[in-house]
Structure formats: structure tokens, C-alpha cells
Structure 1
Amino acid sequence: MKNIFVTLLFLSTAALSAQEKKEKPKTQIVEASCGQCQFGMKAKGCDLAVRINGKTYFVDGTTIDQHGDAHAEDGFCNTIHKAEVSGVIKNDRFKVTTFRLVEEKK
């Protein structure tokens, strides 16, 4: 019985250590826009996408409509914006944790 307890204690400690070592998604400035209208990605409709290191990814975790009118003059379908984001790329999609448009200086 004592061996079982020690083994369970060891396994739970190892699991906690592994969770602590997981890297938090880094915050970075990326280009954000409509994947279809501005980045030439293939899909139906208009969907939010980001360009990271020259590669485009559709975004999961927020939508194009949560950031204003996509079809307005300054909307995602007509303009590429800068955004401060954090998240991970998984299955060729960007799983966003945070997404904030960066106001561009004129």
C-alpha cells in the first residue's frame, strides 16, 4: 500500500512539473485581415486570418465580426491591420488566446 501511495505521489508531482514547463503563448504583433479578401486564402465567405512570419492562418477563438464591420472602408475585407495576439498554431490554424487591434499612427 505504501508503494502505491509513493508511486501516485511521484506521478502527480511529475504531471504538475510538466504543466509548469508548458510555454505560455508569446504575445506578438501580426498582420490581421480577411483571409479571403486580403490574403487570397481559399474558403467560403469572409473569415479572420493572421499572417505570421509570411504564412497565413485562419483564426479560431475570435471572429471577423467581433472587431467591427468587415466591409467598412477600414474593415478587414478592405484593409490589413496590425494586431497584438497570443496563441498557438495547431492543425494549420491560429488558436488565439488574446487578440487586440493595434492603433496605427497616421
Structure 2
Amino acid sequence: MKYVFCFAFITCSFIAQAQNVVTSGNLVIADPLKKTYTVEASCGQCNFSLPGKGCDLAIRMDGKAYYVSGTDIDSHGDAHARDGFCETIENRRSSG
């Protein structure tokens, strides 16, 4: 019985370590094993002069802008509101 308990405990420990992103609604908790950077987030076309049609979420790090994958600009509120990504550049934390 001790061996079954130990095996189950070790298996659950490995499974818990395999999980790397926790989501809760719009809140995403980054993988603690990846380095986190402070970046500028905004609309790539409106504020970072990236090529493309429409408005797409982008970040700027060390003076170079990159498009963001895995989410879109409208998932973070109205992009064209007074405090939206097309109107402001915000400091955010990012990993990956």
C-alpha cells in the first residue's frame, strides 16, 4: 500500500509540474520558469508603424516591434476607446 501511495504522489507531482499556464477569465499567469520582460504594448499599425491592414496587437522591446500571437487586440477591450491600444502605448509584462 505504501508503494501505491508513493507512486500516486510522484505521478501527481510530475503532472502538476507539466502545467505551465493558468488562466482565469482574462487573467493569464505566465510560466514561472520563463523569463519575464517589461515591454511596450499597443497597436502595431497605429503606434509602432508595422505593416498590415487593420489593427493588430504588438509589443516593442529594445526599440524593435513584434506582432503578438495567441491573442488579438479586441480581447483586451475596445482598441479605439480613449484608453485602448490604438490610442495609448502601455508598459506590460511578457514572457516567451
TM-score range, shorter chain: 0.5 to 0.7
More strand by share: 1
Query: Which residue of 1 is the match for residue 88 of structure 2?
Result: 79
Query: Which residue of 2 is the match for residue 47 of structure 1?
Result: 56
Give 1:52's aligned amino acid. M
Task: List alignment gaps of at least 5 residues for structure 1.
Answer: 1-23, 88-106
Provide the C-alpha distance between the structure 2 equivalents of 1:66 and 1:74, rounded to a whole number of angstroms: 14
Provide runs of 4+ in structure 1 moved above 2 Å. none
The percentage of aligned residue pairs carrying the same residue is 62
Residue in structure 2 matching 1:31, options 40, 49, 58 = 40
- CA deviations 1:16-63 (Å, max 9, x no partner) are xxxxxxxx5311110000000011111011000000111000000111
Count of aligned positions: 64
Give 2:92's aligned amino acid. A
Task: List alignment gaps of at least 5 residues for structure 2.
Answer: 1-32
SS for the counterpart of 1:50 is strand
- CA deviations 1:56-94 (Å, max 9, x no partner) are 00000111111110000010001001111111xxxxxxx
TM-score in terms of structure 2 length = 0.64
Residue in structure 1 matching 2:70, options 58, 61, 67 = 61
TM-score in terms of structure 1 length = 0.58
